[in-house]
Chains A and B, each alone.
Chain A
């Protein structure tokens, strides 16, 4: 599903964020990318969302070279990728309901679907009673749940999450990881990044370790039941 082919990203001769990185993510996989701050995890995810261009190499989404697409085709790819971030990145002027409805509107879904799906997905992430709250009226854990609900509402092929538990307490972090695992069990491919060993322990599956922009190990574990 995702293929990195010798991708290098340099922000200057001394500042190499990714150094000839290659790996493949198969459909339905759950991949955890681990590494310290500055290891290149976020840059890697930004490449998938076409927020950044590689200096060298190519990134494929299925058979499509993401960075050869014109700017009008990029939103179409992004609608197939759900994304969750450490800082939630919700629209501050929209309620929980409207944040999720917005993602459905841009995907061209009709009003009936929006009215039935948004409360349902918020129920799934445990926020059925927070529909009309603005982000600033929600706790960190609740905001992250809204972000996850937004990321999965269009049933994306791929879900990427950049340090999704970075700002959460251990209890909330564990619940969020459980939600990801359930989403993965339903068939959605997931790539998430973390520097927290406890999260790595919980996610299991496939772990890619990065250091100084390079992959230093890529190991698969048996799925925990």
Chain B
């Protein structure tokens, strides 16, 4: 009997959902908007983390050598740097490369290029160092500036050690603020979306009060009256998830196109595709849970014995 009752309630939920037409559509859209907000926040948080990683990757320590420094000395410094546990990568940029890239950067400035032709190549070679962890730059800088024992060559060959420490600390500060604002904004947005969903579903059940009283009159118990509403809520949640994903994809593709030019690197669309299963599951659980909870609270209020 329990199985027969369950089948009847599920069937009734599906039929009611279909026949309620516009009211069901409103519930699906309300849930879809909530999930779209949640999904959007998930993707933008990934976007933010991606940007941070990208920028951190670009920050490095640059060691410029005096122009007359012998290549062997520079190679020796490179070797000792590579042995440091905090160093991820050391790239050697020759004097000629520096000169060439400077000319390329300033190809529109005829005056500058002319004076450069007169002076010759004033640049020294350079080593670009990337650390394993951006917070560990300090120790590498210390090594270059103060550690006499480990550095096998004369420190005088080093012209300048430039470390974009300001960028890192400023970046960390900005990220902290953005994350805090994001948390508050997303909490407010999610609350608003959830509230709107609850109201829409409540309204749908409120308009069925007359039906509920008729069901009660023919002797329907709680399960027969409330069950189909809960099934309707679950269906709305499921369809809302599909609608939200359907709209999330093109939005992300658009944002990707816009942001790629500005930030480069961070490919949101491949993030969405790569994490599709976990995003789909999160949205599905949220959507079905939201539909079920909203229906449950509304039937408790409007369809109780």
Interface residues of chain A, those whose CB is within 8 Å of chain B, are 49, 51, 71-72, 74-79, 83, 89-93, 102-103, 105-108, 110-111, 150
Contact = CB atoms under 8 A, between A and B. Distances in A.
B219 A93 contact: no
Contacts of A108: 1
A89 B210 CA distance: 8
B8 A105 contact: yes
A78 B220 CA distance: 9
Given A89-B217, A90-B214, 11 more contacts: A49-B217, A71-B305, A76-B219, A78-B217, A79-B219, A83-B218, A93-B15, A93-B211, A105-B8, A106-B215, A111-B4
8 contacts: A72-B222, A75-B221, A78-B216, A78-B218, A83-B217, A91-B211, A93-B211, A105-B8
A103 B218 contact: yes
Contacts of A72: 221-222, 305
A150 B219 CA distance: 12
A72 B213 CA distance: 15
A71 B224 CA distance: 15
A83 B217 CA distance: 8
B217 A74 contact: no
If over half of B's interface residues share one DSSP class (helix, strand or loop), that class is named, otherwise mixed; here it is helix
Contacts of B222: 72
B16 interface: yes
Interface in B201-253: 211, 213-222, 224
Contacts of A89: 213-214, 217
Contacts of A107: 219
A106 B214 contact: no
Contacts of A51: 217
A184 to B, nearest CB: 20
B220 A110 contact: no
Nearest to B9: A105
A152 to B, nearest CB: 12
Contacts of B219: 75-79, 103, 106-107
A191 to B, nearest CB: 15
B299 to A, nearest CB: 15
Q: Which 10 A-B pairs have the closest CB atoms?
A: A79-B219, A78-B219, A71-B305, A106-B220, A103-B218, A93-B19, A75-B219, A75-B221, A89-B214, A106-B224
A77 B219 CA distance: 8
Which interface residue of B20, B214, B219 has the most chain A CB atoms within 10 A? Answer: B219
A77 to B, nearest CB: 8
B23 to A, nearest CB: 10
B305 A93 contact: no
B6 to A, nearest CB: 12
